[in-house]
Every structure is written in structure tokens, then in C-alpha cells.
Amino acid sequence: MANTEASGKVTLVKRALSDKPTATEDKIFYGLSRAAAYSAIVLVGLILAFLAWQAWPTFQSQGINFLLGSKWDTASKNQTFQIFPMLWGSILISGIGAAIAIPMGLSLAYFIEFVAGKKLAAFVTSVVDLLAALPSVIIGLWGALVFTPIAVEWSRILNKYLGFIPIFENKSETFPGSPFIAGWIVAVMIVPIITSVSREVFSQIDKDLINGALGLGAGRAAIFTKVILPTARGGVVGGILLAIGRALGETVAIYYVLTLTFKVNWYQVLEGHGGSIASFIIGQFGEAEGKTISALMAAGVVLFVVSLLINFIAGAIVARAASKGKF
């Protein structure tokens, strides 16, 4: 700030900048914003505390075998609760969904941002946003009634021509209800997340980098792999992790298309059985009582913590990339 003395000289006075609100309306807005942020943190903490309190008897009685064991016995006197088949099933289905959704989401984001005209880009963006807004139950019903018959035929073709590869082997000849079908449904649900995040990241790339590559004779494929992806890798990876976190917690849609069996399906994605923690919880909870409720709550804690960690990691990756200018 400038201060003029009597002699006519101008003296610069340093003033510390402050982000604290001074006006009344700013103070109110600032207070409401902080209250909303703290409320969200408290709410997450309360949910986790409630689940942990309900699940503690199971963690105490089952120990590490709750995560690593493969037996779920509610009928005998000494009940056993172990969820590894469901935990691995969730990972397998999420992996299949991610393998399908990542190239689809990145391709859509590239098309919207760099290929399509304004009107077409706006239309495709609206369709992607609409897909993101569809309830899980609608996608699940579509998957069960419309997509499953189509996917079964795809599965038969894969098994016929690639059955010598272990992951495409299907000795039972039962194709409906497989992790392959469930993975496709998950992919449909997470493509909008990957597309939206990637499109936002792509929009922040300096166009001079792309124009320079074009001027040097680079093709679109080379620009995408050598310029766009390296520049935007932080934001893209963050978006993919957010999508995987969403996939791990998906319940209703998978419940409609997956044949739940309490058996570890390590890699045979075309076999008509599999597992998922979220779908297992919803399938068992209606008839659960006593210790079984505690066990299902414990499964919910595992799913909650895993999803929370993935979201934290995704946020950290995006923040780090943004601070370095590599979105």
C-alpha cells in the first residue's frame, strides 16, 4: 500500500494478506462452508464407528481368518464367518469392469475434447451424464433381461475359440451369472466416471503442445500416447481409482446378473458363479440374525475401508499431479 508523506515521497507499506472473511455475509458463508465440511467428516466417522461397533464381535471371534478364510457356516453351534471368496470376487469383477471401462472412458473423453464438434460433443456429454444418473436397479434389470443373453453368446464364442486359455475355460458349460457378465455391467456404471474426470483433465492440457506435435507430423495415436496421456496421467489415474472404488461398492446391479456362490473363483471369468461382498450382504441380510448380522456388518466395514482408502489415494494422486502441473 502506498503512503504519501509531507515531503512528497511515496513510501510502500507492506500489508499481510489474509483469507479470513471481514464482511458479515462473508463470515456467514465461511461459517456455513466450514460447518458443511466438518459435518461430512463427522458423518463418515459416525458411520464407520457404528459399523465397527456392530462388527467387533465378529472381528474378535474370527480374527484374521475373517478375511483369509473361505467358510461361511451359520447352521452349526460354532458359527464360522469368513469372506475371502466374496472379497476376491469383488476384486475380480472390479478388475474386469476396469479393463473394459478404462479404454472406453479414455476414448470417449478424447473424442469429446479433441475430435467432435461443439454440438456433437455437447450431445455425447449429455448422454454420458445421463448414463451416470441412471439408478443401479435400472442398469441391473437391463443387464438381467437384455444384456445377459447377448453376453452369454459372447461367452460361448470366447470359450469355443479361446477355451485353451485358463481364464476362458468353462467346464460346466454354464454361462449365465458369470463374473464376465457382472464385469460388463460394472463397466457400464463406471465409464461415465472415467470419461468425466478424463475429459476435465484433457481440457486443461495446453493446446500448444498438441498443435506443436501436429506441426511436427505426429498422428492422432502418437499425440494421444506421447503427449496427452503423459501430461494428464495424474488426473486420469485418479479418475480410474475413483471408478474402481465405485465398482467395489456396487450392489444391486451385480445382484441381478451374478450367480452368488460361496466358492473362490480365482480366474475363470466365464464360469456361471462368483462372489461380491456388497451383493452377498444384500442377499443375506434379510434372513440374518444374531451373530450373522455382526458378520455382515464386519463385511461392510471391510468394503467401507477399502473404498475409503482407494478414494483417499485417488485424491492424493490428483492433488499431487495438479501441484506439479501434470493434471
pLDDT tens digits along 101-130? 999 999 999 999 988 888 999 999 999 999
Task: Quickly list DSSP for 145-186.
Answer: IIIHHHHHHHHHHHHHHHTTSGGG--SS---TT-HHHHHHHH
pLDDT in tens, 200-259: 889 888 888 888 888 888 888 888 888 888 888 888 988 898 899 889 888 889 999 999
pLDDT at 99 over 90: yes
Q: What's residue 9's pLDDT?
A: 61
C-alpha cell at 35: 460447518
Residue 109 in grid coordinates: 473423453
Nearest alpha carbon to residue 204 among 173, 227, 232? 232
Closest CA to 259 of 134, 71, 101, 89: 89
Does residue 14 or residue 308 have the better pLDDT? 308
pTM of the model: 0.85
Calpha distance 100→326 (Å, rounded): 25
Q: Return the residue matching grid coordinates 500489508.
A: 15
Nearest to 134 by CA among 200, 86, 54, 193: 193
pLDDT of residue 227: 87
pLDDT, averaged across the chain: 87
Cell of 294: 455382526
The per-residue pLDDT for range 166-175, each reduced to its tens digit, is 999 998 889 9
Which range in 19-28, 129-138, 310-319 is most confidently predicted, on average pLDDT?
129-138
- Say which CATH superfamily domain 72-323 falls into: MetI-like (1.10.3720.10)
Mean pLDDT calculated for residue range 175-191: 95
Q: What is d(CA 144, CA 136) in angstroms, rounded to the nearest whole number?
A: 12
